[in-house]
Amino acid sequence: MAARRVPYIWTMVEFLPGSLTDPEWRALGQLSRDADTSSMPVIIQARLELLGYAQKFYGGLLITDEGLLQLQIGKEKPAD
C-alpha cells in the first residue's frame, strides 16, 4: 500500500523553514521602525506572525519582544 501524502503538512514545512530570508529580515527591521505594513507582502506578514515575531493589532502588525530580540541577535552574528 502506497503512503498517502498529506498536502497541509508539506505546505507547513515549506512555510516554516529554519531561518528568516533576506526579505523577511528587511520586513522585520521595517516593522521595528514603523508599523506601516502596506508595502509588506501578506505571506511575509503571516510568517512573522506565525513565528511569534509580530502580532496583529487593530488590523496592523506590531513587532513583539521576540521579534526585537531576533533583530538584536541577527545584528550580533558575524557575516558569513
Task: Give pLDDT, residue 73.
Answer: 83
pTM higher than 0.85, yes or no?
A: no
Task: Give pLDDT, residue 10.
Answer: 46
Q: pLDDT (tens digit, 9 = 90+) per residue, 31-43?
A: 988 878 888 899 9
Residue pointed to by grid coordinates 502596506: 38
The answer to whether 80 and 41 have CB atoms below 8 angstroms apart is no
Task: Give pLDDT, residue 64.
Answer: 92
The residue ranges of every structural domain in the chain are: 19-76
Residue pointed to by grid coordinates 545584528: 75
Query: How far apart (Å, rounded) are the C-alpha atoms in residues 62 and 36?
Result: 9
Task: Give pLDDT, residue 37.
Answer: 81
Query: How far apart (Å, rounded) are the C-alpha atoms in residues 75 and 7?
Result: 36
Positions in the chain whose pLDDT score sits under 50: 1, 6, 9-13
